[in-house]
Structure 1
Amino acid sequence: MAWATYVLLQNTNTTSVLIAVGDVLCIRGYWDPPADIPKHAMIEWFKGQMEQTALVNLSSALYLPSFSGTQLGNILPQGILSVLAQPILSNPDPANGETKAEGVILLASNANYAYSEKDRVWIGAVANKFRSV
């Protein structure tokens, strides 16, 4: 996860990245959580925000190229203009072909239209690295 957050920050127009797989989080970049939350409670705060926004249950990528601070605004830092939530989906079930969300990669940028189609395909490939076998 640390490698993935690093390459996403270095190779895309990203200022904030969060990877959540199951109960494990890796958070890197610029974040602005509320000042009244103690450092030891930050992970639980992030998990709570992820559940409130239903980002952990996405079935397809959510790209907001011109973000204006909707319900996702509680988790994101000030000044974010583009958001990409890429789900980490399980491999299809051989019995019925269903996939389920195992986690999510959340990327935020302070630029409008920060993620090109090529970026989104590459980010999807990074997400696929986290699929359970």
Structure 2
Amino acid sequence: MSKSDPNRVLRGLPIVVGSLGAVLLFVNRILTPELTNSQSRADALGVLLSALLILTGLLWQQVQAKIPDVVQLIGEEKFELVPELPDTVKTELAWASHLLLTNTVTRSLVVIYQGKVLLRRGILPPKSEVTPGAILKRVYEKVKPVYLVDVKAYPGRIEFDYLPENTQGIICQPIGKEGVMILGANAPRSYTKQDETWISGIADKLAVTLADNIKIVET
């Protein structure tokens, strides 16, 4: 399902105004029995301004950003935390996941630390086991995030079978050197640079909390 463009009317306004101005100039010209030099110059200027308005409107129509298609993710709403985690870690994970699910386009979230799934929240399938594939291994090795802007375009998407099968966008964000946060969106190309910065900041904060509790988290 596609979202309607809230600026559609605004984008078409220059075309409407420019066209209306051109029509009024034409009517005024044919109804004027005798033209003066000053009126001719004014008409020429009016035609130029009308043309510029129409051109501006056409350009706005061309450069408008395409609103991503939003899908209904296949899965069920879940909120799963490892029971033996200390309260500090549980609180931090609950807080971080809530922020990401309510302030970004994230609809599915999985947090892994030291090879163990600590959190699953959002729309998710029944499968909870995570087997790191090539993409996730690269995130661990490089300690740099990977953003799959349009999942269906990546053959490696099959490794994310613990996310909804119709997930549209995925960010794999490292949590220090020992963890990773996998976020799934319901629309392709939907994460902005601001979202990525926000996600990185939350991951850094989680890394500190988990590192402080590393002996408790170890399995």
TM over 0.5: yes
Deviation at 1:25, TM superposition (A): 1.0
TM-score, normalised to structure 2, is 0.46
1:26 corresponds to which residue? Answer: 119
- 1:52-131 correspondence runs (5 A): 52=133, 55=136, 57-58=140-141, 59-68=143-152, 70-89=157-176, 101-131=177-207
Cα distance in 2 for partners of 1:18, 1:76 equals 8
What secondary structure sits across from 2:99 in the alignment?
helix
2:110/2:117 contact within 8 Å kept: no
Amino acid at match of 2:146: L
Larger Rg: 2
1:9/1:15 contact within 8 Å kept: yes
Cα distance in 1 for partners of 2:99, 2:150 equals 23
Deviation at 1:77, TM superposition (A): 0.7
Which 5+ residue runs of structure 2 have no aligned equivalent?
A: 1-92, 213-219
1:5/1:19 contact within 8 Å kept: no
Please give the root-mean-square deviation of Cα atoms over the aligned residues, in Å.
2.0
What secondary structure sits across from 1:29 in the alignment?
strand
What secondary structure sits across from 1:63 in the alignment?
strand
TM-score, normalised to structure 1, is 0.73
Cα distance in 1 for partners of 2:173, 2:97 equals 13
Larger proportion of strand: 1
Larger proportion of helix: 2
Which 5+ residue runs of structure 1 have no aligned equivalent?
A: 35-41, 90-100
Deviations 1:76-133 (A, max 9, x none): 21221100010012xxxxxxxxxxx210111001101121001001100000012236
1:88/1:102 contact within 8 Å kept: yes
Q: Name the % identity.
A: 31
Q: Select the structure with the greater relative contact order (CA < 8 A; seq sep ≥ 6).
A: 1
1:14 aligns with 2:98: no
2:105/2:185 contact within 8 Å kept: yes
